[in-house]
Structure 1
Amino acid sequence: MCIIAVLIAIMKTHFRIAFCILAFCSCKTEIKENQATEISIKEKKDNIIISRKDYQNQLYGFWLGKCIANWTGLVTEMDKIGNIGELKTGDFYTREDWGKPDQPSIWGQGVSSDLSPTIDFVFRDTTEVWGADDDTDIEYMYQNLMYENKVSNLTPQHIRAGWLKHIKAEEENYLWVSNQKAFDLMRQGILPPETGSPERNEHYDMIDAQLTTELFGFFAPGRADIAIKIADLPIKTTARGEAEYISKFYVTMYSLASLKLDKTMSERIHWMANQARKILPDNSYPAKMFDYSRKLYKSGIPWEQTRDSIYYRYQVQQKDGYDITSKNLYCNGCFAAGINFASSLVSLFYGEGDLKKTIQIGTLAGWDSDNPTATWGGLIGFMIGKHGIEKTFDRQFSNRFNIHRTRQNFLDGGIDDIDKMAQRGLIVTDRVVIEEIGGTIDEENDLWIIPLKIENE
């Protein structure tokens, strides 16, 4: 069937399509594990060579790692947000609280999370199903839109049609404020990026885009410039200003995760973070938050002390231009983009590339704790792949995902297979590699050859 499809494409003079079809066919040559994802600076100064087979395993690791971290972080979501004043014992969790009873969130009215009676990892075994949440479902939708529409760049029309089809028009539809406003505007006929403009969307500087666009980094392996290009419209669908910069920081991190270099996991994490820092304008509060958090980490103080310092500096004193005076005072501005960004840096820096440690710190750090955990759980899950996650926790997990927990109108009643999700992500990446990056596919060895110039520290 593959050969026939190629011949038809050639007859129609669609050589690029024929080339892509060849690339999607199964390849016979075995690649030494992880060999192809290493950068050989001596032999390939301007290219990164990546095994598509390995990359599919890594995309599986992204979805699995993100689910584990998301649902673990949800146990403590909004339990601890500070009291805008001098901290007292118990105002924030510490490492000593891991494994102890979960405390009520500000939403719970005295009720603790029903996910776990204690602050601990949340798993779904092979007989269960992972549920979608707002840290996974929009990204799932964006990947499907790119896959179904066979595009490497979503258009305003693609995004609006996808949102209207897959998001429920009811009160409980798992959208936060900027996403909800953008959705309302789309229902009125407004197209992105106007849906995220400050003139139309007063919530443009909230956390929403941070939850929904990181995945675009994986579609452009090692090429953060291209990742930001294809993520630009989805980000601007709900964000501007500092919230937009923060989202592009995460997209950059995800793109750079494909570069192994000759470094330990901790060294890779910090190298990626330092490269992504260049996305942030020096005079912006995200840049100053990054520099301040990194300085505290390098000083050697415990993560809890860094978290407390971030709380005082930004939530209480509102320094470095981080003004939350008019931002959702119901929870002390805790859903403004910045405080979640600063909190995520605590678990990133101190987690040092260790999946368990990163999720634990993110879960205990406070505020919207499922947001940073999902971000870094997905990133590190990608870096170590499905098998690395199973080895880390010494167990196997469910491979099923229920997108209809939060969204609607997907195939098979919304029950998907993570293997298939990873396969679709691979095909989307194929298209971006060819059409946007100008790379090629070595179909004999099942490799991507991606033009890349490595930027040294």
Structure 2
Amino acid sequence: MIPNRYLETVYASFIGMNVGIRLGAPIEPVAWTYERIRDVYGDIRGYVKPYRTFAADDDANGPVFFIRALYDDAKGRELTAEDVGRAWLNYAREGIGMFWWGGEDISTEHRAYVNLSKGMAAPASGSIETNGLEMAEQIGGQIFIDSWGLLFPGDPERAADYAEKAASVSHDGNGLYGARFMAAAIAAAFGAASIADIVAAGLRQIPAESTYARVVHAVLDFHRDHPDDWAACRQHLEDRWGYDKYGGVCHIIPNAGVCALALLYGGGDFARTVEIASMCGWDTDCNAGNVGSILGAFAGLDGIPAHYRAPINDFIVASSVSGYLNVVDFPTFAKELALLGYRLNGEEAPQQLADSFRPGDVQFDFGLPGSTHGFRTSNPFKTPVVRHSVRQALQPGGGSLEIVFDRLVAGDRSHIYWKPFYRREEFNDEKYKPTFAPLAVSGQTASASVYVDQWEGEPIILTPYVRNSATKEELLLEPRPLENGAWNELSFVLPDTDGALIDEIGWVLESPSPLTDRALGSLFIGRFGVAGAAAYEIDFAKQAKEFGSITPFAHHRGEWRLEGGRMIGRAQSDAASFSGNYYERDLSVEATVQPLEGTSHLLAVRAQGVKRHYLAGFDGPNTVSFIKQDFGTSRLITAKFDWELGREYRMRLVAEQDAFKLEIDGKTVLECRDDSFGYGMFGFACLDGGERAISRVSVRTGSAKGRP
């Protein structure tokens, strides 16, 4: 049975996982040993690095994307390992992002992906028989499983079963026991009375004679005899279960010991648990992330200190083939997980929860305690407090985002904004190569409900604006004075940015107050959203190559470059490049395409990943085709069309419900109907090697109605 406060606990656990990952990531081996961490950072009590924006991490990519097997294949039936293996192939780009931290004979994930891409189905792709014992028992078996524990609250056995199926894509043996243990522990944490109960729940889901169970029991025994000395316990692990006893780069057994150690010596305190997991060394981000998930569910939101939660600001970035899905808003993702949890457990979700999640729209309600949805301000001196509040709310029991403005006078400004798109300059490093497609574009409507509680000064004014990501120019719209002591309904259409993207949406806060009567008070954002039809251009003269991709695209295979205001794509085999709203239904994408070499030059629509999409365009000499890719290629219709290399063609592909139309230079050359894919991204692709130049991309979308 789904417990009370299920959504809130899912949210807390997801925050906890990401706190642990962010805390442990800067002190991973091999550069950072246990001794070096101890000598440099001592007793860790906070983040060791002040990231501008924390880059993607494989420990978060897996929990976010592998559950998509429940949408794509396992909807209405039990999950299989093969379903999750298909999700690997569909959402990961070959050789970049997602889980690409090693080589084929270094990273278990790399090896499994190669096996899958050669046609080997899971679980054979991750088995000991295929990959050997050492490779199969590396740590990845337990680091991608957090979501499975959250989907089955209070049901450790079912959580463990699903986690094992997912982990078997790449792991086996103790790798699967780690998956079972961690997922069961997360599921048990929803209602557990103690950490001991959580550990016991995990142990019940794995063989008692397994090495994994034995290392956990060794920590339990040591903790019983030495309950106040985690460092001594860590030395005990080093002596008897250390990396020198197990092969590979990052074996699961030593790290299983660290997770058990951190859980026991953390004593139910969230901060101490993730800190100890990080200070122990070895796979710091993986271990701190796993125990962070468990303690987030166990301790709840109140148990996560503000100095860990605030820098995360309710969002992470990810590294899949969908730049749209790569910007992960925590409250929204928690709602998505909770809705899946209700579905998998055969229960009806509360209507308020169901109504608050609309895939493809930006919809923030600030209903979860402490939620901020990634909002920021530009002037901390004049807007010194940005926090979740329950002082004002649109719905009973809800909340809002409070921004305190402090003694504004004429000439003072602070931007209150949300970011629908990110650039490389906002990150400290290039970990896992995230890519981004904008979550909001020109033509859509932004709306908000804002309450003003002003105590002094002349009335404040909010001026809507968006920022051009290429020039950083702010496009200011019509200023709006606000009524004090009331909810104000605000809306504005996102203006055209002439081929650039929008990377900030919000308002400029000002007041004409004089020095003798400065503006002081709070405003509360109770609701914020972006939705509706869109019309925007992509001018490659205003784009850049960042994180290995041309903005705002994510490339799968091929070599892509910018040249003369065009995107040039060259490939030795099949390749693709995707962008746009992952949930878009009706749209047209238009571009100038110049085939330079080869016989395959195609536009894509309704792309749900690398392996699921429609293609249309040049498909061989004097031929155009409409093609369905669904883990295999099917040509739905083919026609004669005399095209030639070197010539530019204006190509337009339209998708409306189940009808598709390809136009070339203003003339319809193909029409087709198919209902396999009801929504997805757009992009460009080829099925054979060659080169093409793409320019003057224009996208028009329908309304948000009917999105899944």
Fold in common (TM above 0.5): yes
Q: 1:240 to 1:394 in 2, by over 3 A?
A: closer
RMSD: 3.0
Contact 2:184 2:202 in 1 (8 A): yes
Q: Does 1:154 align with 2:79?
A: yes
Secondary structure of the residue aligned to 2:3 is strand
CA distance in 2, matches of 1:148, 1:61: 27
* Cα offset, 1:157, TM superposition: 4.6
Residues 158 and 121 (structure 1), Cα distance of their counterparts in 2 relative to 1, 3 Å cut: same
Q: Does 1:137 align with 2:52?
A: no
Aligned pairs (5 A) from 1:90-105: 90=35, 93=38, 97-98=42-43
Report the equivalent of 1:408. Answer: 321
Rg larger for: 2
Map 1:32-47 onto structure 2 (within 5 A). Answer: none
Of 146-155 and 250-259, more deviation after overlay is shown by 146-155
**Is the Cα–Cα contact under 8 Å of residues 57 and 98 in structure 2 kept in the other structure?**
no
Distance 1:206 1:393, change over 3 A: closer
TM-score (norm: length of structure 1): 0.68
For 1:422, the equivalent position in structure 2 comes to 334
Deviations 1:214-252 (A, max 9, x none): 321221111122212222321211121122112211111
1:50 alignment counterpart? 3
CA distance in 1, matches of 2:264, 2:126: 30
Call closer, same or farther: CA 1:130–1:386 in 2, change over 3 Å: farther
Structure 1: which amino acid aligns with 2:43? W
Q: Give the match for residue 274 of structure 1.
A: 200
User: CA separation of 1:445/1:169 partners in 2, compared to 1, >3 Å: closer, same or farther?
Assistant: closer
Distance 2:12 2:72 in 1: 22
Q: 1:165: which partner in 2?
A: 90
- Change in CA separation of 1:96 and 1:416 when aligned onto 2, cut-off 3 Å: closer
Q: Give the letter aligned to residue 90 of structure 2.
A: K
Tell me the CA shift for residue 309 of structure 1: 1.0
Question: Are the equivalent residues in 1 in contact too, given 2:26–2:49 (CA < 8 A)?
Answer: no
User: Secondary structure of the equivalent of 1:70?
Assistant: helix
Q: Which residue number in structure 2 is paired with residue 17 of structure 1?
A: none
Whose relative contact order is higher, 1 or 2, with alpha carbons under 8 Å and at least 6 apart?
Answer: 1
Whole-Å separation in 1 of the counterparts to 2:112 and 2:28: 24
Report the Cα offset of residue 289 of structure 1. 0.9
Q: What residue number does 1:385 align with?
A: 300
Check 1:151–1:390 CA distance in 2 against 1; reply closer, same or farther (3 A cut).
farther
Asked whether 1:315 is paired with 2:262, we answer: no
Amino acid at match of 2:298: M
Alpha-carbon deviations, 1:27-58, whole Å to 9, x = none? xxxxxxxxxxxxxxxxxxxxx5612xx21112
State the match for 1:249 in structure 2. 181
Aligned: 1:287 with 2:216:
no
Residue identity matched to 2:241: Y
- CA distance, structure 1, for counterparts of residue 96 and residue 72 of structure 2: 28
Give the direction of change, closer, same or farther, for the CA distance of 1:396–1:196 in structure 2 (3 Å limit).
Answer: closer
Work out whether residues 399 and 419 of structure 1, in 8 Å CA contact, stay in contact via their aligned partners in 2.
yes
Distance in structure 2 (CA, Å) of the matches to 1:206 and 1:242: 8
- 1:114 maps to what in 2? none
The 5 A counterparts of 1:54-453 are 54-78=5-29, 79-81=31-33, 90=35, 93=38, 97-98=42-43, 120-121=46-47, 129-147=53-71, 149=73, 150-151=75-76, 153-170=78-95, 174-175=99-100, 177-202=107-132, 203-260=135-192, 263=193, 268-300=194-226, 301-315=228-242, 318=245, 324=246, 327-328=247-248, 335-389=250-304, 395=310, 397-404=312-319, 407-411=320-324, 414-434=326-346, 440-441=347-348
* C-alpha contact (below 8 Å) 1:146/1:154 kept by paired residues: yes
Q: 1:183: how far off?
A: 0.5
SS at match of 2:328: strand
* 310 and 172 in structure 1: CA distance in 2 versus 1, 3 angstrom threshold: same
Q: Is the 8 A contact 1:213 1:231 kept in 2?
A: yes
**CA-to-partner distance for each residue in 1:58-104, whole Å, 9 max, x for gaps?**
2111221111110110121114557xxxxxxx4673797135xxxxx
Contact 2:139 2:175 in 1 (8 A): yes
Cα shift at 1:296? 0.9
1:271 alignment partner AA: D
- Structure 1 counterpart of 2:169, one-letter code: T
Three-state SS of the structure 2 residue aligned to 1:401 is strand
1:364-391 Cα shifts (integer Å, max 9, x gaps): 1011111110001122122333454255
Residue type of the alignment partner of 1:223: D
Question: What's the CA shift for 1:129?
Answer: 5.0
Following TM superposition, by how much is the alpha carbon of 1:394 offset from its aligned partner in structure 2, in angstroms? Answer: 8.0
- The question of whether the paired residues in 2 share the 8 Å contact of 1:143 and 1:428 is answered with no
SS at match of 2:58: coil
**Residues 191 and 310 (structure 1), Cα distance of their counterparts in 2 relative to 1, 3 Å cut:** same
Gaps of 5+ in 1: 1-47, 83-89, 100-118, 319-323, 329-333, 435-439, 447-457
CA contact (8 A) 1:76 1:366 kept: yes
Identify if the C-alpha distance between structure 1 residues 277 and 139 changes in structure 2 by more than 3 Å, giving closer, same or farther.
same
Structure 1 residues 205 and 428: alpha-carbon distance in aligned structure 2, compared to 1, 3 A threshold: same
TM-score by length of 2: 0.45
CA contact (8 A) 2:15 2:309 kept: no
CA offsets, 1:325-374, max 9 Å, x none?
A: xx23xxxxx51110111111111110111111011111110111111100
* Preserved CA contact (<8 Å) 1:344 1:372: yes
1:417/1:303 CA distance change after superposition, 3 Å: same
Instruction: Say which structure is richer in strand.
Output: 2
Distance between the aligned counterparts of 1:402 and 1:243, measured in 2? 27
The change in CA–CA distance for 1:155 and 1:196 in structure 2 (over 3 A counts) is: same
Query: Identity percentage over the alignment?
Result: 18
Matched residue type, 2:209: N
Q: In the alignment, residue 129 of structure 2 is paired with which amino acid?
A: E
2:318/2:328 contact within 8 Å kept? yes
Any gaps of 5 or more consecutive residues in structure 2?
A: 354-708
For the structure 1 residues 158 and 373, does the alpha-carbon distance in structure 2 shift closer, same or farther, using more than 3 Å as the test?
same
